Amino acid sequence: MVNTSFQTHQQLARRSPQWLPLGGTLGGYRDALSQQGGHLAASLIIAAGATLLTLALAAPAAYALAQLRCPGGRTLLGVLLVVQLVPGIVMASALFRIFDSADILNSAQALILADATLAVPFAVLILRAFMITIPRSLLEAAALDGAGAVRTFWQIALPLSRNALITTGLLAFLFAWGDFLFAATLNLNSRTWKPITLGLYDYIGAGTGATSWNSVMATAVIASLPAAVLLVALQGRIASDLATGAVRE
């Protein structure tokens, strides 16, 4: 992908492949930034919004299921597991009708809500698995000091669960960043909020034979950078031991 992004049209048309982009060009990257820059910005906004919404909904729900005596908690966990089996196209069709009646199709709100709908059940299950390991002694000590459930969640549970929040937020971001199904279903006419996955699909040319492959691959390289940077930067926290950190602090 990187090799192709630097090659000229003449180099790509050769019958034998060229394994190094010697004598290549940056034209593909210039085209990608000028023609797909808006789609990249839209994807960043949508993915960031879906991540924040997912964490805002999943974190308190996971804490309640892990540490509080919630009526029907086990049933809710079963429902969350079953939701993971629902095909995405079924969700997309249902959300299309809901968003159409709410008149928010072809907008950033529609894509943020749709991506969060996909990520929240998974995020609740992941965060609950982390929060259930928080020592009860810490929560009981906070209660003895007069802290209520909300204050305990905000000042005790969330700081101790930061690694879980980072992991869940990263997964939610990647779900939204790589989404194509919801983008193709809920964004039919808007060019302002077309994410990079849909922009890249349109960029290929729909089989017209006039595809500029160095520009396509340059767009793919640029679209891969946010996910790659986040994975490299946060890999140390993703696999850290939550229980050890809670006791140490």
Range 41-248: architecture per CATH: Orthogonal Bundle (1.10)
pLDDT tier for residue 172 given thresholds of 50, 70 and 90: very high
Say if CB 175 and CB 121 are below 8 A apart: no
Domain range annotation of the chain: 41-248
43: burial class by Cβ within 10 Å (0-12, 13-18, 19+)? buried
149: burial class by Cβ within 10 Å (0-12, 13-18, 19+)? middle
pLDDT tens string 43-62: 999 999 999 999 999 999 99
- Helix axes of 27-67 and 73-83: crossing angle, nearest 10 degrees: 160
Give me the helices (H) in the chain, please: 2-6, 9-12, 27-67, 73-83, 88-101, 108-131, 136-144, 149-152, 158-160, 162-177, 181-186, 196-203, 213-238, 242-248
pLDDT tens string 109-137: 999 999 999 899 999 999 998 888 888 88
Q: What angle do CA 197, 49, 169 make, to 5 degrees?
A: 90
Give the C-alpha separation, 26 to 215, whole Å: 9
The predicted model scores a pTM of: 0.84
What is the residue-averaged pLDDT of the chain?
85
